[in-house]
Amino acid sequence: MPSRQIRVPQGIGQQLLDRVRPYTELSAGAVISHVTAAQLHGFPLPWFDEEITSVHLSRPAGSVQPRRKHVIGHSMALPPEDVMHIGGVPVTTPARTFLDLSTVLNLDDLVAVADFLVCEHERHFETRKVPILAAAVLRAYIADKHWVPGLGKARAALELMRVGVDSPPETKLRLMLQRAGLPEFTTNYAIAGNPLVWPDLACEKYKTSAQYEGEIHKTTQKQLFDRNRDEPTPPADGCRSRSTAQTCAKEKPMWWPWSKPH
């Protein structure tokens, strides 16, 4: 993105890291932060990358905020442990970026980011998923912070965070069920069988499971995988729900019984 002392060759695409690098080189002590840091870390955000046209740039507290075209400037205290480098570019760490996003995102979108950071699985049908941050590490980081903008929302998000959520729509489905007054649906729950069945969400007390099915589930390959996943689950094991973006938008998940719930 062209700006003062920054020129971009016409018609040549750039990766985000290359686009933001000049801004940190031209602004002493500047660090990529907030939404731009989230993009570099691969966080799930409620916008497409092409919709985000500004660079978030932070300088030390007491400094003049960066002011230039296409830049949203911030001034804040950043201890050394809150900054890392990606390809030589200074960027706030995942934990600090999560905290800073609490001033930008609504609560549900922030919970989705927290779920993304701590997600881990060890299931027979996929490679073991290791979290970007262990849940305990993220909680300890936030607990150690004081007098930081957005801290209250960040703490609220951690109360709602759960390990094992694979996508923001799954986060929002889980929160919707919780706010409807239903018993909590857990993640990383294995239903006994050969092989084990791993629904997105499950309520053991009422023998009920829920699946969120996004666009990828419309492909033939994924539908076959879903069928093979579901068939081994005995009918006596209760109820199953499948929800899509459309049903979640209406806040009315579709339920149907395998057998009557116990």
Calculate mean pLDDT across residues 38-62: 93
- Which of 70-74, 148-152, 241-245 bottoms out in mean pLDDT, i.e. has the lowest? 241-245
- Which of 72-76, 109-113, 236-240 bottoms out in mean pLDDT, i.e. has the lowest? 236-240
pLDDT recorded at residue 42? 97
The chain-wide mean pLDDT, for the chain, equals 82
Query: Contact 240/209 with Cβ under 8 angstroms?
Result: yes
Residues 6+ apart with CB under 8 A from 84: 90, 91, 92, 93
- The structure tokens listed for 54 are 């500004």
Calculate mean pLDDT across residues 11-15: 71
pLDDT recorded at residue 35? 97
Q: Is the pLDDT reported for residue 227 higher than 80?
A: no
Query: Contact 19/87 with Cβ under 8 angstroms?
Result: no
Query: Contact 78/93 with Cβ under 8 angstroms?
Result: no
pLDDT recorded at residue 222? 54
pLDDT recorded at residue 13? 67
In this structure, how many other beta carbons lie within 10 angstroms of the beta carbon of residue 99?
Answer: 25
DSSP label at residue 70: T
In order of 57, 87, 114, 247, 248, the CA distances from 176 in angstroms are: 34, 39, 17, 11, 8
* Structure confidence by residue, pLDDT tens digits, 155-211: 999 999 999 999 999 999 999 989 999 888 888 777 776 667 777 788 888 888 888
